[in-house]
Amino acid sequence: MPRYRITIEYDGSPFVGWQRQKNGPSVQAAIETAIFALAQEEVRIRGAGRTDTGVHALGQVAHFDIEKDLADDTVRDALNAHLRPAPIAVVAAARATADFDARFSAVKRHYLYRIVNRRAPLALDARRAWQVPVPLDADAMHRAAQCLTGRHDFTTFRAAECQAKSPEKTLDRLDVRRAGEEIEIHASARSFLHSQVRSMVGSLKLVGEGRWREKDLAGALAAAERRRCGPLAPPDGLYLARVDYGGD
């Protein structure tokens, strides 16, 4: 039975998240419906990451098995035809080896968080970035962010409903960059805790405002207490940017 790997871009605004749920439309359910329309087979796809309500993706990866042996371009184009008008696009499709698993074969995940730092409301980027009206010091945010890289107990930046077995994670990268009125925060790790990126971004915003210093962020991390976390950044600005696999 052929296994297909697909790379997906989506606007998460109208969805309850990646994972199929009973309380609203999900990205997973929309793609599974498109696969059924293509192959007349009911399948359950597995994604590399379970993005939350309102979170977007530039490079989500998923895999599925179907009986039909189809050309890669046929799978991509047919799925996109059946997905219309949902804001989901299959940007690539390819045959994968039988042991490929979109979730468990991943070696690194990359997230992007977008802040638009201006007083005027967002028109084009509404629901696609976090509009912060007060001035932010991106350089201070970047310097402070480096205390979070490496292996730590990230309990402070972990959602209460997180199901991970351990709060310990290795954060490989946390960079903050300004380009005009936009601030980009790039985070990379093999895996993340539930709401970890949004929690870190909310705390970094306090640094950017001058309400926290680097030592306050480091102290919050060391406390390993959820109540020490800054405000949770909204989902609007978060994107699953890319997933890396060995051999890519």
The yes or no reply on domain 3-96 and CATH 3.40.50.970 is no
Fold exhibited by the domain 107-245: Alpha-Beta Plaits (3.30.70)
Domain boundaries, the chain: 3-96, 107-245
User: pTM here?
Assistant: 0.96
Contact by Cβ (8 Å): 220, 229: yes
Catalytic center residues: 52
**Are 3-96 and 107-245 the same fold in CATH?**
yes
Q: What is the pLDDT of residue 110?
A: 98
Contact by Cβ (8 Å): 210, 169: no
pLDDT along the chain (248 residues), means of 10: 96 96 94 96 95 97 95 97 98 97 97 98 97 98 98 95 90 98 98 97 98 97 96 97 89
